Structure 1
Amino acid sequence: MRRIVLALFVFAACTAHAHDEKAPQAQGKAAPAHTHEHDHDDDKDHDHGHTHDHDTHGNKHPHIHENAAAVILNAANWDEYAPTGKEADAIYGDAALVNRYLTAVIAAPLPTRNANMTVRNVGGQLIDLTVNEPLSDQLSCFYIQKRQFVFDSLSHSSTKSVRVEKGREINVSSADVKTTGVDPKTGLKVELTYKLGGSDNFITIVTRFENPTDAPLTMNLADDLRFDAGKESAIKATEGSGPFYWFGDEFWGQAYAVVPGPGWSVRYESDARVHKLAYSKSGNDKGELMLAAGASFEFARRVFPAQNTLKVQSNAIAGLGGQTKMFSVAVTDAAGNIPPDTRIHVRGGDGFSGWGRTDDNGLMTASVPIGTYFVTAEIQGHKLRTASPLKITVQPNVDNTKDNELKLYDWNPGTVVASVTDESGQPIASKVEFIGQSGTVSPNFGPDSAVFGIRNLRYTPDGKFEQTLAPGEYEVRVSHGVEYDAFTGKIEVKSGQKTPLNVKLPRSVNTPGWVSADFHSHSSPSGDNTSSQLGRVLNLVAEHLEFAPCTEHNRVETYDPEIAELKVGHAVRTVSGLELTGSPLPLNHQNAFPLKYVPRTQDGGAPTTDADPSVQIERLFNWDNMSEKLIQQNHPDIGWLFFDKDGNGKPDGGYPGPRKFMDVMEIHPIDMVTSMTPSADYRGREHSNQVFGWLQLLNQGFRIPGVVNTDAHYNYHGSGGLRNWIASSTDDPAKIDVLEMVRNSEKGHLIMSNGPYLEYSVRESGNDKHVISGADLAAKSGKVTISLKVQCPNWIDVNRVFVLVNGKIVPELDFRRADHPGKFRDGTVKFETEAELKLESDAHLIAVAVGEGLKLGPIMGPDWGEQMPTALSNPIFVDVNGNGFEPNKDTLGHPLPVKFVAKPR
């Protein structure tokens, strides 16, 4: 097989391998933020400092710059100069450097400039760097001289001229950004210059050190950088030293190389987040530099971005004067077809190793040093041609772009054509899991941070997709959250054939007047994970979460662009918010929504944290001119917060401030509700029992409604494992009133669950007027009638329902399937009854449904699936004596808690 390959020069970008939603292996962000339209008149500018594109490996609107230029980013030039990508963090006031090849951003040198919660103090540093085709920034921050200097100025310049060479006019351009700083410890000064020529495929970073003191100063030449890759398909140079250091993410399509000047070498070591670089010359292995009084020294290094690790290494080698030569590999499968988005591994006999990807024509084109290479492939985690790699000898004076065909004899896939609908035939977002059977290996579509294909999961916003799979037998699990029945069945995929997967998921659980919500989840803008924000939204709609505030760490954000791009506005309502995350951990975490989102500004206009939880939560309460908002205390240590401020294990009254301002409080894991002790073994470790602590608080008179949330950080079965059902005047997600969600949550009109749907109300016996969770009920007779009903889809069950009266189980209201078979059923309605209760004094009543000895199971994945099915209401407060509800002060047989410390094992 022969193919014609267009000639490319050594530094040219490989053709982007574009993907639409039918090819999930490489979905990501690459379209400029300005392509999104929004329905909200009150906030027409919803673009982010990061982007909302969904195709990492192909950009609809790449930056096109004929000349090098430097600008300060503002509203007028943003679309032309701001980079995009999952990790892009540029805001107004930062400086952008661009040319035809790359886009870079240098953060404004402000002491308050942070890229996100964990990438902090970035003023004057390189925070974004990406090739222009496609724009896909994956760099968190390149810290010059290991954060030694505080920068305080910023200037930029651009030049353009025409040079005549051999009778031809050639455009010549250059641009730079400069900032100056000082080491507060030693007084050492530095001038930092970022340089970019019109045709450079790298950015040059020059540090000029000056010793203004009257004594010599000794320093080490060293940088560090943040490139987070704990859950990614990222690779990097083996720890050691060499003429350059490289690393990159093959899935999201961006790699980097750091190259010091000639004669210099770089030592490198790294973990999942931080990469440490130390520079040295022969005879100075420690890299120490002594500057005499009044002396100066200049050091330069170049940083190359590229689409993959194969290309970035070759560019670095060429930049150091090494000879490289272009070659191409044409990939076909066993049937002669072009497999989309194949990952290509190229390994040289001298230890050179790198990865690339094929384009839409099945070609992988790159440059490598002269030599012999062995080429293998990988598709969906299947390693191909490892036993018989393609051997290619790249020669200096030969066209190496021809006749290199990598035939994947073992890859002869079929195609699954899926259609997932509800019982009326309407398409619905869904989660589809493929599990290989009878020797068939499960696919691996992408990392935990991906969007449409994550490990062996296939997410779809509209129930439709076509997915190539290796031939074989698969178990298929199809679901759409806990209000819908799930489908589990078998399919056989045959080579070259289409296998239909037509699934109807009936909405078996009816929830009129209640909508499901998750108040707390995260994605890459939070800084403590690398998940695609688009993937988070797709997770939420696939799991049928109808109300989902955007709550990134320390950053007001929005899901509006993602919802618009996925076309799921009919299925989910969102609002801007945040999780304000400070120290001490884990105590000082509060969520809040709605908050005003100020796009392209520091933290989206969010408040800052404070070391005192009382100050921090009050600041949040007062934010946006004391606007109405829900403030949620996240995963609290109840004893520490309420009773043991200094954390020494002795009661001292706790923090008084948060009690005034918190509206709701997280109390998960709720499947500990049957362990009526302050702590218990939970999945192999001692865990504080938040439910028990909450019950003790209620008895002391703290009327703080409980909530549960996933706190999801990654997208593999990320959302859906916990949810709240909130009373709502509408069942249409698109019409949900945000402030109604706030107010009903504050009132406790909310049911917590990991799956079962619990209906619960109480009325005074003989009276038809009933109340729901969170409400007060006057019942002077002391006689109340409790209505209970539990619904579950076909993949969840419960076998026990009971009522807690002032935090204690009442034996006559403790129903087990084995003892009360007439009250339990096998269909959607698992349990239903009305029960009478005589109260002698005021009491709060909480309903609970559980599946003792049961698990949610594989539909919810290996983590959430281990939970015991549980639903838990908020309390109804029954006033018997007629003078208002009075708490009974009972501590439930245990002292009030103090700061939790797990006992040593």
Structure 2
Amino acid sequence: MHCHLLRRTIPLLGLLLVCHCVSRSWAVDLVRLTPANYDRFAPEGKEVDAIYGDWVLRNDRIVAVIAAPVAGRNANMTVRGVGGMLIDMTTWDAPSDQLSCFYPAGGRYLFTDASQGAVVRDGGSPLALDGDHLGASEIRVSVTGNAINQDGTTATVTYTLRNGQDWIDYEVTIHNPAESPVELPIEDMLRCDGNLFRTGTLEDNQVFFAEDRYFGQCYGIQNFAGPIAKLGGRNMQLRPRENPLRKVTAAQPLQWQGVIACSQGLPGIRQWATSRRTQTGPRQLVVLNISDILGPVDHAVVELWQDGRSLGTVQSNDAGRVALRLLPDRYRVQVRSHGVADAEFSVDVGDRSIERTLELPEPSRVAVEITDGDGRPIPAKVQFIGIDGTTSPDFGPDSAISAIKNAVYTAHGQFTQRIDPGTYRVIASHGPEYDAATMTIEVAAGQQASVRARLPRVVDTSGWVSADFHSHSSPSGDNVSHQTGRVLNLLAEHIEFAPCTEHNRIDTYVDNLQELGATQLMATCSGMELTGNPLPINHQNAFPLKMHLHHQDGGGPQTDADPVKQIERLALWD
């Protein structure tokens, strides 16, 4: 429950310049990913799709990935034909890539010939798109592709990044060598998958945005051809609201320009859009660290207000951090989190970067300890159901890692969860072979309640192994669930063996188990589900298979329209 506001003011004293601990040789880098440099240069985030051979384009503010322009380059099962397209993009200040793909030219062309690519450094002569590492103050990368519908037209897409930009300029040029004109739309396409993304427009429809508040990434796109209209569903087609169709002839190519930006949240994109419209700035980096007596507060909802107008909300990341670039002004900041009343602060932004800690009051919370019948900690799922007028909590979306809807998943049976005051029925479980425990707790404002439960094993399964041979997460392309969260689900339900079976790529759960410190709790192996047409027959799981890290499809086989050939191919692979 969120009640009256607590007011505090943060003075503009003792400004702290926030620096990036990134080793750099030039203002802008273009780097081809290899086994030797991948961990150093690839971005971070749940939706990163970069593999060896892709190109990282980065400066002091953002890092993006242009997929290698080669045949068969797909991001996942449903995001396909991404060669030469922008497949990852995030900020250095709060890295969390959530981009599936941005397709300048609307996904109507395939860019599969790297020899048609070019690089221009600081306005110089074009260079071939090869080598491993280039640097400059400005880098332009161009790729050229052919029309999927074979109408004879070609498209050249150029990306430009300069030092100090948190956006990438793009340009599309379509050529028609034939005598007969071809009518084509000015159109780009955006894939930001999952039901967490909210979309809309800013600045009288000049800027289109897509924001994922929970995972902390917002994208803003401006097409200079005019105000933007969105068509389509999952494949978001972005075109001018007026006169999008143009005739393309040999004498008159079709050309348009635009920009794509990213920020941890909508307030940052809104300020970027305002800065472009009003030609004001520069925007300053503002870092807000949200904390309380338990430490950093993750997924606190931070709403920024300027001159009585809400700029939108952004959620703190797992480290309790919010990092946005804002125009100089005084901002009202409201913070909402589980277990405390809403808090209000004032933050002054001047002519340099600042970092502030916003301290919240002591939260109401519950400390949980779940063991087996012998008192040993075990993974568990713990549900909190509001009763006697108390609303059940909503800790996070079903694509999160551990705190999901009204439940918390734990790998080691212990956690402390912020929760609003009230009365709750608590159900702790560890799969069907163990007893579940049910109890009622009262949580007082600013106090800690306790849950301690023993879950004895009551079903003797000697000689048997509990297994799940079919599970998917975000790498599959048909959902956006965090892969670590999927593994945590399996642990909490006492699955003892689970191969990794993502759609159309060989993948592994080993790194997730290592992250959770749970390699001893569940056996696993790399595998895949090869999913083609016709369905449902062309839909097979196979394991173990050898995974080739950061290669296309994890080194896995391709689908085939003939189910027999597909099954044979999969059976004989590796």
Place the TM-score, normalised by the shorter chain, in its bin. Answer: 0.7 to 0.9
CA distance in 2, matches of 1:479, 1:336: 26
Q: Which amino acid aligns with 1:609?
A: T
Q: How does 1:837-876 map to 2 (within 5 A)?
A: none
Alignment TM-score, normalising by the size of structure 1: 0.56
1:315 aligns with 2:265: no
Q: Which amino acid aligns with 1:505?
A: L
CA distance in 2, matches of 1:336, 1:431: 22
1:225–1:274: 8 Å Cα contact kept in structure 2? yes
Partner residue, 1:343 = 301
1:442 aligns with 2:402: no
How far residue 150 of structure 1 moved from its aligned partner, in angstroms, is 2.2
Partner residue, 1:249 = 212
Closer, same or farther in 2 for the Cα pair 1:351/1:615, shift >3 Å? farther
How far residue 458 of structure 1 moved from its aligned partner, in angstroms, is 0.7
Instruction: Select the residue among 241, 255, 263 that pairs with 1:306.
Output: 263
1:354 aligns with 2:312: yes
2:10–2:345: 8 Å Cα contact kept in structure 1? no
1:200 aligns with 2:165: yes
Q: Which amino acid aligns with 1:275?
A: M
1:377–1:383: 8 Å Cα contact kept in structure 2? no
Q: Which amino acid aligns with 2:28?
A: A
Give the SS at the match of 1:483. Answer: coil
Partner residue, 1:150 = 110
2:379–2:491: 8 Å Cα contact kept in structure 1? yes
How far residue 557 of structure 1 moved from its aligned partner, in angstroms, is 0.4
2:215–2:317: 8 Å Cα contact kept in structure 1? no
Q: How does 1:415-430 map to 2 (within 5 A)?
A: 415-430=365-380
Partner residue, 1:516 = 466
Partner residue, 1:137 = 97
1:115 aligns with 2:75: yes
How far residue 250 of structure 1 moved from its aligned partner, in angstroms, is 1.3
1:260 aligns with 2:209: no
CA distance in 1, matches of 2:100, 2:226: 25
Instruction: Select the residue among 589, 597, 603 that pairs with 2:547.
Output: 597
Partner residue, 1:73 = 33
Give the SS at the match of 1:146. Answer: coil
Closer, same or farther in 2 for the Cα pair 1:430/1:338, shift >3 Å? closer
Q: What are the superposed Cα offsets for residues 548-573 of structure 1, whole Å, 9 maximum, x if unpaired?
A: 00000111100010111111111100
Partner residue, 1:91 = 51
How far residue 290 of structure 1 moved from its aligned partner, in angstroms, is 2.8
2:56–2:66: 8 Å Cα contact kept in structure 1? yes
CA distance in 2, matches of 1:93, 1:362: 34
Closer, same or farther in 2 for the Cα pair 1:392/1:65, shift >3 Å? same
How far residue 341 of structure 1 moved from its aligned partner, in angstroms, is 4.0
Partner residue, 1:236 = 199
1:137–1:254: 8 Å Cα contact kept in structure 2? yes
Closer, same or farther in 2 for the Cα pair 1:350/1:570, shift >3 Å? same
How far residue 425 of structure 1 moved from its aligned partner, in angstroms, is 1.8
Q: Which runs of 5+ in 2 are unaligned?
A: 1-7, 124-134
State the Cα RMSD in Å.
3.6
Larger Rg: 1
CA distance in 2, matches of 1:587, 1:535: 29
1:329–1:406: 8 Å Cα contact kept in structure 2? no
Partner residue, 2:129 = none
Instruction: Select the residue among 243, 249, 262 that pairs with 1:286.
Output: 243
CA distance in 2, matches of 1:524, 1:412: 35
Partner residue, 1:225 = 190
Report the identity percentage. 38
Closer, same or farther in 2 for the Cα pair 1:316/1:172, shift >3 Å? farther
CA distance in 1, matches of 2:389, 2:295: 25
1:611 aligns with 2:561: yes
Closer, same or farther in 2 for the Cα pair 1:384/1:274, shift >3 Å? farther
CA distance in 2, matches of 1:7, 1:153: 50
Q: Which has the bigger relative contact order, CA under 8 A and spacing at least 6?
A: 2
1:372–1:391: 8 Å Cα contact kept in structure 2? no
CA distance in 1, matches of 2:425, 2:321: 33
How far residue 498 of structure 1 moved from its aligned partner, in angstroms, is 2.3
Q: Which runs of 5+ in 1 are unaligned?
A: 16-60, 162-170, 625-905
CA distance in 2, matches of 1:463, 1:434: 15
Aligned residues: 551
Closer, same or farther in 2 for the Cα pair 1:337/1:579, shift >3 Å? closer
Instruction: Select the residue among 272, 276, 280 that pairs with 2:237.
Output: 276
Closer, same or farther in 2 for the Cα pair 1:574/1:241, shift >3 Å? farther
Closer, same or farther in 2 for the Cα pair 1:544/1:247, shift >3 Å? same
Partner residue, 2:85 = 125
2:290–2:300: 8 Å Cα contact kept in structure 1? no
CA distance in 2, matches of 1:157, 1:330: 38
Closer, same or farther in 2 for the Cα pair 1:132/1:362, shift >3 Å? closer
1:311–1:356: 8 Å Cα contact kept in structure 2? no
How far residue 133 of structure 1 moved from its aligned partner, in angstroms, is 3.0
Partner residue, 1:799 = none
Instruction: Select the residue among 58, 62, 66 that pairs with 1:102.
Output: 62
Partner residue, 1:191 = 156
Q: Which amino acid aligns with 1:568?
A: A
Alignment TM-score, normalising by the size of structure 2: 0.86
1:537–1:563: 8 Å Cα contact kept in structure 2? yes
